Structure 1
Amino acid sequence: MHSTQYVVRPLVEAHLDAMLLIEHAAHSHPWSLANLADCFGRLHYGAGLFLQQAGGPDALVGFFLMQQVIDEASLLDICVDPKFQGQGLGRLLMKQLIDEAVNRDAAVIMLEVRASNVGAIHLYQSLGFIEVSRRKNYYQSQTGYEDAILMDLTFN
C-alpha cells in the first residue's frame, strides 16, 4: 500500500510557471505571471506544497505567498490545484504560513477574502482569524462586484 506524501518548502522563481497554472485553475480572477513574480522580493516569503512522486520530480500542488513588514504579515495569495482540493491541503498551507509568521516575529497576520468564498472564510475562522472590516464592492465578480472581508489573526 502506497501513501501520498506531501512536503512544504520555500518557493523559488523557477516555480513560477507551475504556480501560474495552479493560479489559473483555482481562481476565477487569477493573478498574472508578473503579479506572482513580484512576490519574490526581500519582504516576501512563499512556500509550495509538493506531491512527492517516486522516480520523478516533486509536483507543485499548492502554494501561499505572504509579505511581512516589521511585525505585520499579510497573506497575499493561497491556492491549491482543484484536483487536490478537499483533502485539507489548504489548512496545511495555512498552518505553515502561521508557523512562518510566528518564526518571523509577526504580531498579526492579515488577509482579505471574497465574501462569497465561504469555504475559505470557515477555514480562516477555524484557525482563529476574526473579521475586522469589509471593503464594499471591492472584488469584481461574475455578476458585478462583491465585498472583501478583512480578517486578522493576532498573536499575544
Structure 2
Amino acid sequence: MTNLLKLTPITTDDITQLMPIENACHSHPWTEKTFSSCIGGRYFGQKLSETPAETTSKIIGFYVGEFVVDEATLMDICVDPTEQGKGFGKKLLHHFIDQAKAKGAVKIWLEVRAKNISAQMLYMNAGFIEISRRTGYYPSSKGFGYEDAIVMSLKL
C-alpha cells in the first residue's frame, strides 16, 4: 500500500498541530498568536499531510503566504525535520508558486537566512534570484549576534 499525500488549506484549528514543526524548524519560531494572525484575509497557506494505509494522517509540512495587489510573499515554509530531504519542501514551494499565480501575482518575494544554504538552493532551483541583503536582520541561531537575511524574488 502506498501513502497518500494531500495538500489542504490551513485553518486556526491546525495551529496546535503545526506549532511543533514550526518550533523544530526555526531558532526563533512564530508564536501561536503570530500564526493565528496569518490565517485568512490576505494570507493563504496549505499543510501537506501523509496518510499511511489504515492510520490517521500525519502533517509533514506547511507554508504560509501573503498576497497583496499583484505580489505574493512566502512568509513561512517548514517541513518536519524527520521528513526533510525527501522533496516535500519542493512540493510545498511549487504549490505556493501555483497558488500565487492563480491569485494574479506577477512577482513573489521571500527572505531566507544567509546560513540556510539548503533553502537557498531550493529557491534558486525554482528560479528565485537574490535581490538584496538585510544586514544583521535575524538574531543568530546560536544565541548571540545577528545573521543577514537574503531577499529573493521570482518574476512570474
Both structures adopt the same fold (TM-score exceeding 0.5): yes
Question: How many residues are paired up?
Answer: 154
Shift of 1:62: 0.3
Counting only pairs closer than 5 Å after superposition, residues 112-151 of structure 1 correspond to structure 2 as 112-141=111-140, 142=142, 143-151=144-152
Q: Take 2:2 and 2:84, find their aligned partners in 1: how far apart are those partners?
A: 17
- Deviations, residues 97-155 of structure 1 (Å, cap 9, x unaligned): 00000111101110000000000000000000000011000000114101000000011
TM-score after normalising by structure 2? 0.95
User: In structure 1, the residue corresponding to 2:38 is in which secondary structure?
Assistant: helix
Code of the aligned partner of 2:60: V
Q: Name structure 2 gaps, 5 residues minimum.
A: none
User: In structure 1, the residue corresponding to 2:147 is in which secondary structure?
Assistant: strand
- State the partner residue of 1:152: 153
Shift of 1:57: 2.9
Q: Take 1:115 and 1:4, find their aligned partners in 2: how far apart are those partners?
A: 35
Root-mean-square deviation (CA, aligned residues, Å) is 1.0
Counting only pairs closer than 5 Å after superposition, residues 15-94 of structure 1 correspond to structure 2 as 15-94=14-93
Shift of 1:55: 3.1
Shift of 1:4: 2.8
Going from structure 1 to structure 2, the CA distance change for 1:3 and 1:53 (only over 3 Å counts) comes to: closer
Q: Take 2:65 and 2:84, find their aligned partners in 1: how far apart are those partners?
A: 21
User: In structure 1, the residue corresponding to 2:7 is in which secondary structure?
Assistant: strand
Code of the aligned partner of 2:69: I
Q: Take 2:120 and 2:64, find their aligned partners in 1: how far apart are those partners?
A: 18
Q: Name structure 1 gaps, 5 residues minimum.
A: none
Q: Take 2:2 and 2:41, find their aligned partners in 1: how far apart are those partners?
A: 37
Shift of 1:53: 3.0
